[in-house]
C-alpha cells in the first residue's frame, strides 16, 4: 500500500493493463468475444483512489461521471465530432477511392443506432465507454499537473493506444488504431477541459464513436476497403487534433478554461481536515 501511495499514477497504469488484459485468457478459451476487459481502467482508478484518497477520492471521480451541468455546446461536440469524422471517412472511401459501400440491408440498420448507443453508454464491457472514468477521470488530471494539456494528452494517448494491442493482435482493429487513439486523446482532452472536467461528456463521445464507427460504418467495409477506412479515420482524427491545438493552444487546449488538474484531496490515512479547492 505504501508503494501505491508513493507512485499512484504508475500503479494506476499497471493495474489498468493487468485488469484489462486478463480477458485474453477468456478469449483464448472462447469464453469472451474480445481479448480485453473494457472497464479495467475504471476498476484500476477505483482501487488506486481507495488506497490513496479513500472515500473522498472515489467520490470525486463518481461526481465527475455525472457532471451534466455543462454548456450544451459540449454535448453537441461529444455527439457530432465522432459522427462527422466517421461519415466523412466513409464518404471519401466510397466516392473517392471506390470502396464497396453499404448494402440496402445494412442501411436498414440505422434505427438500431440509438438503442445501441445507450447500451454501449450504460453497460460496462460492451464498448470503450467505461474506460473513460479511468483514462480521463483519473489519469488525465494527474498528467496535466505540471504539464501542458498537449503533453499530457500525448503521454496518455501512447499508453491508451498500446492498451488496445490485444485487439490489434487478434485483428479486431487495425494497427492504424495507434495513430487514431493518440490523436483522439488530444480531442478528448479538449472536450474534457472545456466541459469543466465532466467525465460524462467524454463517455458520451466515446460511446458515440464506438456506435457509429466501430458498430456501424466500419462493418460495411471488408478487405482493403476496411483497412483504408481505418486509415482515413486515423487521418481525420489527426486533422481535428491539429486544428484543436492550433486554435485553442497547447497549454490548456482551451481559451476560457484552465486544464483540469489533480484534485487536492487528502490521503486516506491522513487525519488532517480536507482542503477545499
Predicted TM-score (pTM) of the model is 0.92
Residue at 261 is within a domain: no
Neighbours of 225 (CB within 10 A): 17
CA–centroid distance for 226 within its chain: 22
Residue at 259 is within a domain: no
Predicted local distance difference test score (pLDDT) of residue 264: 57
Do 154 and 185 touch, CB atoms closer than 8 A? Answer: yes
Alpha-carbon distance of 234 to 77, in angstroms, equals 18
CA–centroid distance for 265 within its chain: 25
Residue 227, Cβ density class (10 Å: 0-12 exposed, 13-18 middle, ≥19 buried): middle
Would the pLDDT of 148 be above 80? yes
Residue at 275 is within a domain: no
> pLDDT over 70 for what percent of the chain?
91
List pLDDT tens digits, range 63-120: 999 999 999 999 999 999 999 999 999 999 999 999 987 654 455 566 688 899 999 9
Counted domains in the chain:
1
Q: How far is CA 267 from CA 57, 141, 198, in A?
A: 9, 17, 23
Predicted local distance difference test score (pLDDT) of residue 110: 65
Predicted local distance difference test score (pLDDT) of residue 273: 39
Instruction: Quickly state the pLDDT bin for 55 (edges 50, 70, 90).
Output: very high
Instruction: Quickly state the pLDDT bin for 276 (edges 50, 70, 90).
Output: very low
Residue at 28 is within a domain: yes
Instruction: Quickly state the pLDDT bin for 269 (edges 50, 70, 90).
Output: very low
Instruction: Quickly state the pLDDT bin for 271 (edges 50, 70, 90).
Output: very low
Predicted local distance difference test score (pLDDT) of residue 215: 83
Residue 196 carries which DSSP code?
T
How many separate helices (H) and strands (E) can be counted in the chain? 15, 0
> Mean pLDDT across the stretch 138-150?
97
What is the residue-averaged pLDDT of the chain?
90
Would the pLDDT of 197 be above 50? yes
Residue 271, Cβ density class (10 Å: 0-12 exposed, 13-18 middle, ≥19 buried): exposed
Residue at 267 is within a domain: no
Alpha-carbon distance of 137 to 92, in angstroms, equals 34
Residue at 277 is within a domain: no
List pLDDT tens digits, range 83-95: 999 999 999 999 9
Residue at 257 is within a domain: no
Please list, residue by residue across 193-208, b when 16 or more beta carbons sit within 10 angstroms of its beta carbon and e when fewer do.
bbbebbbbbbbbbbbb
Report residue 205 as a C-alpha cell: 463521445
Residue 32, Cβ density class (10 Å: 0-12 exposed, 13-18 middle, ≥19 buried): middle
Alpha-carbon distance of 148 to 174, in angstroms, equals 30
Predicted local distance difference test score (pLDDT) of residue 107: 54
List pLDDT tens digits, range 161-193: 999 999 999 999 999 999 999 999 999 999 999
- Of 141, 140, 113, the C-alpha closest to 207 is 113
- Of 188, 63, 66, the C-alpha closest to 122 is 66
List pLDDT tens digits, range 119-137: 999 999 888 999 999 999 9
Residue at 182 is within a domain: yes
Instruction: Quickly state the pLDDT bin for 3 (edges 50, 70, 90).
Output: confident
Task: Give me the domain span that covers residue 178.
Answer: 2-248
* H/E stretch holding 30: none
Give the contacts of 142 (CB within 8 A, at least 6 positions apart). Answer: 8, 9, 261, 262
Predicted local distance difference test score (pLDDT) of residue 274: 40
E runs forming strands in 5-111: none
Amino acid at each position: 500500500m505504501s508503494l501505491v501511495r508513493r507512485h499512484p499514477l504508475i500503479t494506476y497504469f499497471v493495474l489498468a493493463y493487468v485488469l484489462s488484459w486478463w480477458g485474453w485468457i477468456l478469449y483464448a478459451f472462447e469464453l469472451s468475444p474480445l481479448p480485453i476487459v473494457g472497464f479495467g481502467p475504471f476498476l484500476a482508478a477505483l482501487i488506486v483512489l481507495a488506497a490513496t484518497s479513500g472515500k473522498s477520492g472515489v467520490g470525486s471521480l463518481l461526481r465527475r461521471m455525472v457532471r451534466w451541468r455543462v454548456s450544451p455546446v459540449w454535448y453537441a461536440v461529444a455527439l457530432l465530432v465522432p459522427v462527422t469524422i466517421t461519415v466523412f471517412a466513409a464518404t471519401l472511401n466510397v466516392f473517392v477511392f471506390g470502396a464497396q459501400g453499404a448494402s440496402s440491408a445494412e442501411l436498414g440498420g440505422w434505427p438500431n443506432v440509438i438503442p445501441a448507443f445507450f447500451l454501449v453508454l450504460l453497460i460496462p464491457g460492451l464498448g470503450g465507454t467505461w474506460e473513460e472514468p479511468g483514462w480521463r477521470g483519473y489519469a488525465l488530471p494527474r498528467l496535466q499537473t505540471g504539464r501542458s494539456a498537449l503533453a499530457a494528452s500525448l503521454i496518455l494517448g501512447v499508453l491508451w493506444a498500446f492498451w488496445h494491442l490485444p485487439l490489434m493482435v487478434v485483428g479486431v482493429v487495425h494497427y492504424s488504431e495507434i495513430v487514431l487513439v493518440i490523436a483522439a486523446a488530444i480531442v478528448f482532452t479538449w472536450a474534457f477541459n472545456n466541459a469543466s472536467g465532466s467525465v460524462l461528456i467524454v463517455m458520451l463521445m466515446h460511446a458515440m464513436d464506438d456506435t457509429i464507427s466501430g458498430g456501424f460504418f466500419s462493418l460495411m467495409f471488408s478487405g482493403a476497403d476496411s483497412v483504408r477506412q481505418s486509415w482515413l479515420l486515423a487521418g481525420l482524427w489527426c486533422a481535428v487534433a491539429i486544428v484543436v491545438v492550433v486554435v485553442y493552444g497547447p497549454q490548456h487546449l482551451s481559451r476560457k478554461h484552465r486544464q483540469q488538474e489533480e484534485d487536492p484531496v487528502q490521503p486516506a490515512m491522513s487525519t488532517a481536515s480536507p482542503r477545499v479547492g
